[in-house]
Amino acid sequence: MSECGKPSVYVVDSHVTRPPLPPRVDQRLKHTSPAQILLFMLVGLALFGMLLEACFIYHLYHRDSDSTSASSAMMQQDASPSKESVYEIPPSKPVAHLTDGQDVVHRHNIMSWSMNAEPLLYGMTYSDGKLIINTQGYYYVYSKVFFSDHTAFHHAVSMKTEKYAGGNITLLQSRKYTPLSNNVMRSNSYLGGVFHLYKNDAIFVSVSNTKHIERHKPYENVFGAYMI
């Protein structure tokens, strides 16, 4: 009590500094074990790897598509309107195989060949009944004709070359004679052989008379050559 007999009055200071409180702990982290944290990390890495793989596949697919488109465009630009461009697998060496046709007009002795029957013509040139060699080498040359005659029939493969003077050189020849009768002989004549031909040499087929050539089917009269 105070000196005056009255009870003492205690004054409470509301501004007294309170003791510091400990920081709150996140209940979610409090209950998370190290194994769960490791699991979360592994799942995150797996998802990141899947994302990288998807990006890689996307870029690879588009790169291949662009390359294919560019290659197709280049092939279309390089395509030639010549007969050689129609082959899916071009021959490895020069080759030609020609057939007869109703569109062909033969001369008296020289056979002509159809260009409307999609002839096999690669590495050689056809002009005025002749096959012109573009590459020097050894060639197998052949010809087959179907004919009818009542006297004699001559069939030959000849060459026109710049290497020798004197005109044409006979490479192959056959002669067929009929017996002394009025019967008409129908037969085939086939010629074939290997020859060394130079660039610009021209080979062609001649017969005794083209009026005696039978023209039922185009493949009955053929002419060709190929490098060996």
Question: Phi and psi dihedrals of 36, rounded to 5?
Answer: -65, -40
Whether 2 maps to a domain, the answer reads: no
In terms of phi and psi (left: phi > 0; alpha: psi -120 to 50; beta: otherwise), the region of 118 is left
Average pLDDT, the chain: 79
Among 8, 43, 77, identify where a domain stops. Answer: 77
Whether 62 maps to a domain, the answer reads: yes
Claim to verify: residue 156 and residue 53 sit in the same structural domain: no
- Give which of 222, 201, 202, 226 is closest to 104, Cα–Cα: 222
Claim to verify: residue 197 and residue 109 sit in the same structural domain: yes
Predicted local confidence at residue 61, as pLDDT = 65
In Å, what is the CA distance from 111 to each residue of 67, 105, 221? Answer: 48, 8, 10
Claim to verify: residue 110 and residue 211 sit in the same structural domain: yes
Q: What is the CATH number of the domain that holds 149?
A: 2.60.120.40
Mean pLDDT of 174-202: 87
Distance, in Å, from the CA atom of 168 to the CA atom of 156, rounded to the nearest integer, reads: 12
Please state the domain count of the chain. 2
Claim to verify: residue 100 and residue 57 sit in the same structural domain: no
**Res 182 pLDDT > 70:** no
What digits encode the pLDDT tens for the residues 82-119?
444 456 788 999 999 999 988 888 999 999 999 987 88
Claim to verify: residue 168 and residue 69 sit in the same structural domain: no
Predicted local confidence at residue 53, as pLDDT = 78
What digits encode the pLDDT tens for the residues 24-80?
555 555 566 777 778 878 888 888 878 877 777 777 766 655 555 555 544 444 433
Whether 156 maps to a domain, the answer reads: yes
Claim to verify: residue 42 and residue 146 sit in the same structural domain: no
Whether 22 maps to a domain, the answer reads: no
Segments forming the whole domain that contains residue 210: 87-227
- Give which of 163, 94, 104 is closest to 133, Cα–Cα: 94
